Structure 1
Amino acid sequence: MLNFKNIKFDYDPYPIGIARGAIAPDFYEELIDSYPADDIFVSKDYHGVKLSLSQVNNRAGYYAHLSKSAAWKRFYDYIKSEGFIAETMAMLKSHNIDLGLANSSAKERLIKRFKAFRKGSPQPHFPTLRSRFEFSSMPITGGSIRPHTDAPSKVVTMVIPLLREGEWNDEYGGGTSVVWPKDRTRSFNFTNGYMDFDEVECLRTYPFEPNQCMVFVKTYNSWHAVWPMTGNDPSILRRTLTINIESE
Structure 2
Amino acid sequence: MQSILNRLINKIHASAIDPDPSDNFFIEDVFPPELYAQILSRLPSDDEYEFIEHPDAVLPDGTRTRKLLDLTDESIKNLNPDHQAFWHEIKRMLVSDVLQKALVQKFTRRIKERFGEQWQHWPKMINVPIFYRDFPGYFISEHTDAPFKVITMQFYLPKDESQIHLGTSFHRKKNHGFELLKTNPFKPNSAYAFVRTDNSWHSVKQMAAHESKRDSLALTIYQKGFEYKSGKTY
SS in 1 for 2:166: coil
Which residue of structure 2 lines up, in the alignment, with residue 79 of structure 1?
A: 94
* Aligned sequence identity (%): 26
SS in 2 for 1:26: helix
Q: Residues 176 and 205 of structure 1 are in contact (CA less than 8 Å); yes or no, is this contact kept in structure 2?
A: yes
1:246 and 2:222 correspond? yes
1:9 and 2:21 correspond? no
**Distance (Å, rounded) in 2 between the aligned partners of 1:98 and 1:179:** 17
SS in 1 for 2:12: coil
1:46 and 2:55 correspond? yes
**Distance (Å, rounded) in 2 between the aligned partners of 1:6 and 1:83:** 16
Query: Displacement, 1:5?
Result: 4.8
**Distance (Å, rounded) in 1 between the aligned partners of 2:71 and 2:146:** 16
SS in 1 for 2:79: helix
Query: Displacement, 1:70?
Result: 2.1
1:25-73 CA-partner distances (Å, limit 9, x unpaired): 22121111111101122222423342111169xx964552387422221
For 1:165-184, list aligned pairs within 5 A: 166-170=160-164, 173-183=165-175
Alpha-carbon RMSD across the aligned residues, in angstroms, is: 2.7
Query: Displacement, 1:218?
Result: 0.2
Which residue of structure 2 lines up, in the alignment, with residue 194 of structure 1?
A: none
- How many aligned positions are there? 201
Q: TM-score if structure 1 supplies the norm length?
A: 0.71
**Distance (Å, rounded) in 1 between the aligned partners of 2:80 and 2:197:** 31
One-letter amino acid of the counterpart of residue 53, structure 1: L
Q: Pick from 96, 120, 131: which aligns with 2:127?
A: 131
| Closer, same or farther: CA 224–66 of 1 in aligned 2, 3 Å | farther
* Structure number with bigger Rg: 1
For 1:152-231, list aligned pairs within 5 A: 152-164=147-159, 166-170=160-164, 173-183=165-175, 199-231=177-209
1:5-25 CA-partner distances (Å, limit 9, x unpaired): 542221012111011111122
Q: Pick from 35, 38, 41: which aligns with 1:27?
A: 35
Q: Which consecutive unaligned segments of at least 5 residues does structure 1 have?
A: 102-123, 185-198
1:144-179 CA-partner distances (Å, limit 9, x unpaired): 122211111111101111123x35244xx3110112
1:78-136 CA-partner distances (Å, limit 9, x unpaired): 1222222122223445xxx36359xxxxxxxxxxxxxxxxxxxxxx9443211011100
Q: Which consecutive unaligned segments of at least 5 residues does structure 2 have?
A: 58-64, 114-119, 225-234
